[in-house]
Chains A and B, each alone.
Chain A
Amino acid sequence: MCSTTIEQVLIRIREEFPGATTTFTPDGTGGGSVVIEPVDIGTRYAPTATWFGAHLSHALPFADVYPLFIGSNVVRKDGAAHQAPITVGHTFANRPALQVSKRTNNLLATPEGAALKFTKVLHYIKEVAP
């Protein structure tokens, strides 16, 4: 079971990532974990596609979607180590993961805002991350 807000967030996520499979696992509080895969993370990384996930709090749409995770096998093609806010050594939904710790305090408190967080962080990983 998940809240109506989270149902709406999941609908928007599926619209944002049409080619991917979106899997939601309820946590028993009204929220749960969502994993989207595959997601293209661009040519700076190998592999270029991975999974993308986050916990969706029952406190949505007021809560941030934070942090987000991608597969731990993702490495930079230039051979450099990941830099903060991408950190290693985490797990998410029983998967080894890299954590992407990007806070967003100014998105609208709507299901669209929550879904947009995934798009924004993906853009950060692909284009901005050091």
Chain B
Amino acid sequence: MNRNVRLLFSPPVFKAVQKHLFPGDNCEHAGVLLCGWNERADRITLTANEFQPARDGIDYTVSPEFHGRLQPLFIEDALSKAKERRLSYVAIHNHMACDSVSFSQVDMASHEYGYPTLSRLNRGLPVGAAVFGTSSIEVDIWMPGGKRHSLETARVVDQWIRHLWSSPRFAPQVAYDEQFDRQLPFLRNAGLGLIAEAIVGIVGLGGLGSQLIEPLVRLGFRRFVLLDPDRMDRSNYSRVHGSLPIDLPASSKPGNLKVEIAKRLILAIAPDATVDAQPLDVARGDAHQCLLGCDFVFLAADTAEARLTCNALVHQYYIPMVQIGTKVHIDTNGVLHGVFGAVRQLRPGKGCLWCNGLIDRVALADSGKTQTQRDNERYGADAPSPSVVAFNAEVAGRALNDFLRHYATPQPSFGPFYEYSMLDLLAGEREFVEARADEQCSFCSASNSSSSHGRSGGSQVPIVGL
């Protein structure tokens, strides 16, 4: 059995599961999770889309030998919903366990008896089971074709990302390395393990995205997916971290690709790092699929198309993300009105860029028009977009600090969390903004049945780039 399943939860679904399984009566309870799913790079990811609790004594009965059992009508109903919505079917129950949990022999025997049939009934879709302790989860997932898989990790993708395993022995471990000694008291071995194993995606390796590279590598991150179709231009040189004179365009060659410059920087610091450098626009073709294996993504590309695609990935595939940007406001008379930075945390069902009007629909309308059409339609002056490396550094630093706190440290005791931080970079002030969420949203709403929320693999990610 391969230990390669990721089970991802949005906070409301995980909370509902915990409340149902552990009401404080020390008894077993059960239900079914309907999950989106996708398979990539030898890893199966399940996104818990909906929890159907089984009613004690009606849908879930316990035999005199204390063996629990879901009733056939309940199973049939859940299975038919799974098939209709192209979701996987995962029957769940709990054991009175804390940070270590496993299936009993009776559980495993019942899987071997029942799941070949369920697998046939749920044609082409995974079926399986999960058992929960209060701080642990194990799964037994049967893929179409009959291969079985157990849990690599489960996560509750809230602002703070909670990592769970079937046992602490499956948590990522790292050997002591003096290189990281000074950050050990803050991150602990658990944090360093998470960092060493994490795959970090960066979309956009320009003035802002390139600022993230060196600190991430110095922190111990070793696995990267980089996406940016752009090449270095002389006007970028003041801001792109890691760029050298040889990267600039010359009469004999175009400028070097920004992803290659970032890759070179990573490997210069950490030759053992793995870098998937893709000179692609995330919003074109199937480029976004490179990000499906990522544990966290920094969105530093400032196009409406990239925002639309990445926003969909967050809510559909439960990939936590932060969108970062800076804006220098200078009016047409050259008067400086302010310099602002945005650090927007995106999580399943939270911080949606679409709900908050942060995806420019006119810019999307321009995609597909010819340059002549755009020129003909130009209305008002297009302001130039100033950019300064020092401002980028502050925004990148804020995003990195938040990322460390949210991904690789024990749950912060302070709060509340706000999705968006707006930085006034001249005044040195920060304002927190609670993001809106529209119940009708086709990206982030779990209550809208036509939304793609949690439907990883079952719904198409909107691609607007050609």
Contact = CB atoms under 8 A, between A and B. Distances in A.
A55 B370 CA distance: 11
B113 interface: no
Given A29-B466, A62-B464, A101-B379, A55 B354 contact: no
Nearest to A64: B361
Interface in B215-254: none
A62 B442 CA distance: 10
B171 interface: no
B367 A91 contact: no
A106 B364 contact: no
Output the residue of B361, B367, B369 with the most chain A CB within 10 A: B361
B364 A59 contact: yes
Interface in B424-466: 440, 442, 462, 464, 466
A57 B368 contact: yes
Given A62-B359, A62-B464, A103-B362, A57 B369 contact: yes
Given A99-B377, A109-B354, A65 B440 contact: no
Nearest to A69: B377
Interface residues of A, number: 28
Output the residue of A55, A62, A65, A109 with the most chain B CB within 10 A: A62
B373 A55 contact: yes
Contacts of B32: none
A90 B360 CA distance: 23
Contacts of A90: 376-377
Contacts of A92: 376
Given A29-B466, A62-B308, A67-B379, A57 B364 contact: yes
Contacts of B361: 62-64, 66, 103-105
Given A66-B362, A105-B361, A109-B354, A59 B379 contact: no
B27 interface: no
A87 B379 contact: yes
Contacts of A58: 367-368, 464, 466
B364 A63 contact: yes
A30 interface: yes
B392 to A, nearest CB: 27
B368 A62 contact: no
Interface string A10-42: 000000000000000001011100000000000
A31 B373 CA distance: 14
A47 interface: no
A91 B376 contact: yes
A49 B354 CA distance: 37
B464 to A, nearest CB: 4
A31 B368 contact: yes
Nearest 9 interchain pairs by C-beta: A63-B364, A64-B361, A59-B464, A63-B365, A29-B368, A59-B364, A101-B379, A64-B365, A31-B368
30 contacts: A27-B368, A30-B368, A31-B368, A55-B365, A55-B368, A55-B369, A57-B364, A57-B368, A58-B464, A59-B308, A59-B365, A59-B462, A62-B308, A62-B354, A62-B361, A63-B362, A65-B365, A66-B361, A66-B365, A67-B377, A67-B379, A87-B379, A90-B376, A91-B376, A99-B377, A101-B379, A103-B362, A104-B361, A106-B357, A108-B440
Interface of A: 27, 29-31, 55, 57-59, 62-67, 84-85, 87, 90-92, 99, 101, 103-106, 108-109
